[in-house]
Amino acid sequence: MDYAKMRAIAEDLGAYAERLEGAWSVEIGPSGPILAMMCPSKRHAGTIRRICKQLDEQLLATHPGYICASGPEIEHPALGRMRLPDAVVIPEAVLDEEGLAVDATQVLAAVEIVMPSSPDNDYVEKLDDYPAMGIAHYMIVDPRSGTIEVHSEPCKGRYTRKDPYIYGDAVPFGPWTVDTSAFRRYGKAGN
């Protein structure tokens, strides 16, 4: 199926999802359009907020005009992919444009916080899609284990570098650093 047809289906699914209770996401993965219910926890949302806040502060110096945003879908029509990262580094101006998704060529970095119900989405599918989309930096934060992976140096549709970290580390992420000392694990009261 060509991307235009998949995109039309995704838009129909998005319109349908707006009438449903709860929070839903629409993505286009290797198998085509996907409608999934999102059930992020407060810790999931808190981690996204901490990352966005830290990157926003640093982007003022490294990439004026860029922000770390939670929510916009990104797409690469030539690959036939549309994804909804937990956070992306993009030019702020693209949020004022018409349309459903941000062109992946404008994305400097993507961040995913692993959901307990679907870790393969972040560790397998998006790890395949993001470098193929040309996204230079990809961070996977896993509150299940308190670990972080930073993927970089895309070449021929794959990241050639993977750097592992644990909660509490100051994590280099492209030209930025993410302090993970306030990150909390799932199911851990004091952590």
pTM for this predicted structure: 0.80
Report strand pairing: 81-83 vs 73-76: antiparallel
Count of positions (residues) in the chain: 191
Lookup: tokens for 119: 């870790």
Q: What is the pLDDT of residues 81-133, one digit of tens each?
A: 888 899 999 999 999 998 878 999 999 999 999 987 778 888 988 999 999 99
Q: What element of type H or E holds 25? A: strand 23-29
The residues, ordered by sequence, that sit 6+ positions from 165 with a Cβ below 8 Å of its Cβ are: 147, 148, 149, 150, 171, 180
